[in-house]
Amino acid sequence: MTSLVRETALHSRKFIQPWVLMQQYDVLIIGSGLAGLTLALKVGQDRKVCLISKRGINDGSSNWAQGGIAAVLTDDDSTEAHIQDTLIAGAGLCDAAVTRLVAEHGRETVEWLIAEGVPFTREEDNSGFHLTREGGHSHRRIIHAADATGHAVQKTLAEKVQQHPNITVLEEHIAVDLITAGKVNMEGSACLGAYVLNNLTGKVSTIAAQQTVLATGGAGKVYLYTTNLTFPRVTVWPWPGVLAAALPIWSSSSFTPPACTIPRLSLSSSPRRCAVKVACSSCLMADAL
Ligand SMILES: Cc1cc2nc3c(=O)[nH]c(=O)nc-3n(C[C@H](O)[C@H](O)[C@H](O)COP(=O)(O)OP(=O)(O)OC[C@H]3O[C@@H](n4cnc5c(N)ncnc54)[C@H](O)[C@@H]3O)c2cc1C
């Protein structure tokens, strides 16, 4: 998988320089939260995956999520009710198609997490899973693992990813730029991988991949105030083209900024089209790879 080829220097426009390690994979996933881990396990079935995280594998918002996951899990509930509740709670901000997509896939996604071994809390008589009712939900449909659901899901999936023969995990590696065709004097706008800084050594290496996925988490720091942690925040928005690729999904993703007040970042920059893909933890899916 790792081959002796050529290197790139940080900020250099030249992709090819002699005799330094470049790593090659089928899929490069940037981010090790719930979105990145889920995608890695799914595409890792038949492809070589590299998953990078700018801190430790569990250092992200996913590990701190508490309440639980909403899905239609009982016979007296319905997907239509879940969709309506979400649209009402969203006060006109929800994309109707995305809302439907997420609600319709809720049950199978939760069943997948259960099959992977996530220890969701069960009823006292062990008859089923304990469901709570939160916010604008009209039914009890929040499955949870005590009051540390994110930690339970993150820990379970991270352990699976770390043991997976097709997945290489690089912690303390931060993607500093995407490699697009134009940067290496090639035709088109395809994304060829990323330049990655090793936090511990200070060296930048090249990770080439047929497909690159941004699973870099919420955009809480777009706002002046957020309850998100500082370090797992996304650090890729200024990259050319990324904004265009990410905005449609970002606008439908959960990034828990209840304290947000003032937009901090101008979104009026001129993004170019880019072949990068974005993984969204809200639906645990990326564009079909
Ligand atoms: C306190 C709190 C409570 C919450 N409670 C709930 C809840 O009850 N239910 C719910 O559904 N949601 C909840 N959320 C929201 C939920 O946690 C997030 O929507 C979800 O975890 C985001 O997952 P993610 O994989 O997209 O991002 P994250 O888990 O944030 O992962 C992002 C990853 O990207 C990495 N990264 C970022 N930039 C780079 C880079 N340039 N190079 C390399 N790696 C990079 C980070 O290191 C991290 O590994 C809560 C959030 C918080 C903060």
- Per-residue pLDDT of 177-194, as tens digits, reads 999 999 889 999 899 999
Best residue among 34, 62, 121 to mutate for probing ligand 1, ranked by most atoms within 8 Å of CB: 62
Atom of ligand 1 nearest to the CA of 70: 11
Residue nearest to atom 5 of ligand 1 (CA): 65
- Domain ranges in the chain? 63-159, 174-186+210-259+276-289
Say yes or no: CB of residue 112 within 6 Å of ligand 1: no
Say yes or no: CB of residue 150 within 6 Å of ligand 1: yes
Percent of the chain with pLDDT over 70: 68
Residue nearest to atom 24 of ligand 1 (CA): 217
**Neighbouring residues of 238: CB distance < 8 A, sequence distance ≥ 6:** none
Query: What is the model's pTM?
Result: 0.80
Residue 234 has pLDDT above 60, yes or no: no
The alpha carbon torsion through 34, 35, 37, 41 (nearest 10 deg) reads 130
Residue nearest to atom 11 of ligand 1 (CA): 69
Say yes or no: CB of residue 65 within 6 Å of ligand 1: yes
Say yes or no: CB of residue 255 within 6 Å of ligand 1: yes
pLDDT at 7: 38
Say yes or no: CB of residue 59 within 6 Å of ligand 1: yes
What are the structure tokens assigned to 270, written together?
């001129």
DSSP-derived secondary structure letter, 127: S
pLDDT at 22: 83
Say yes or no: CB of residue 198 within 6 Å of ligand 1: no
Rounded to whole angstroms, how far apart are CA atoms 209 and 6? 15
- Per-residue pLDDT of 150-169, as tens digits, reads 999 999 999 999 999 999 99
Q: Which is it for strands 69-70 and 49-52: parallel, antiparallel or unpaired?
A: unpaired
Say yes or no: CB of residue 34 within 6 Å of ligand 1: yes
CA distances, 40 to each of 30, 128, 163 (Å): 10, 29, 12
**What φ, ψ does residue 208 adopt, rounded to 5°?**
-95, 140
pLDDT at 145: 98
Cα 218 to ligand 1 centroid, rounded to whole Å: 6
What are the structure tokens assigned to 49, written together?
């995956």
Cα 281 to ligand 1 centroid, rounded to whole Å: 8
Helix ranges (DSSP H) in the chain: 34-43, 79-90, 96-104, 106-116, 149-163, 242-250
